[in-house]
Amino acid sequence: MSVDISELINFRDRFKRMESEFETFLKKFLIKQALDVLAKTKKETPTDTGLLKNSWTIGDQSVAIGSRTNRSGGTEYFQMESAFAQGASLDSVVRDGDMLVITISNAVEYAKYVEYGHMTRGRNKWVDGKFMCSLAIIDVKRKIPARFEREFSAWFAEKMREN
């Protein structure tokens, strides 16, 4: 008596491929979340000269986020070019032990004062922070579980269909 185990071998091979591709999936997922944080942060960043708003970056690279007014008078934000074309590559996500980390930063000297608040130059008045990045992170972080479940399910289904 013989048994054909070719389907079982095929199934095993698919899982091996998925295992090797899973970290790439996670990195791409994190970049999407970072782009959402970046767009929300830029939307809430106060603008005088535009320097602060345009200096938000993912990793150590800049990602361009554009804006336009929609028909109802609201503002729409969109990624001007592919994140990968702008430099937000898989290398923007770094491994730190068992964690994958992506950094959103602003190199403008006064960014932290606008974010968290500061005393005026005469030290007689406190100016409240805008928390534009902090609040964007909180908002996106709240949505991550549902987003991850949806994207992982789609990715897993696609990988199971591949031969």
pLDDT (0 to 100) of residue 17:
87
- CB-based contact 100:30 (threshold 8 Å): yes
pLDDT (0 to 100) of residue 62:
53
pLDDT (0 to 100) of residue 89:
77
Write out the E strands in 26-163: 56-58, 61-62, 65-69, 75-79, 93-96, 99-102, 104-106, 117-119, 126-128
**Each residue's pLDDT expressed in tens, for the chain with a length of 163 residues:** 788 898 888 888 888 889 889 999 999 999 999 999 999 999 999 999 999 999 999 876 555 555 555 667 665 555 544 444 345 678 889 999 999 999 999 999 999 999 999 999 988 999 999 999 999 999 999 999 999 999 999 999 998 887 6
pLDDT (0 to 100) of residue 68:
54
pLDDT (0 to 100) of residue 123:
86
Domain boundary assignment for the chain: 27-60+89-161
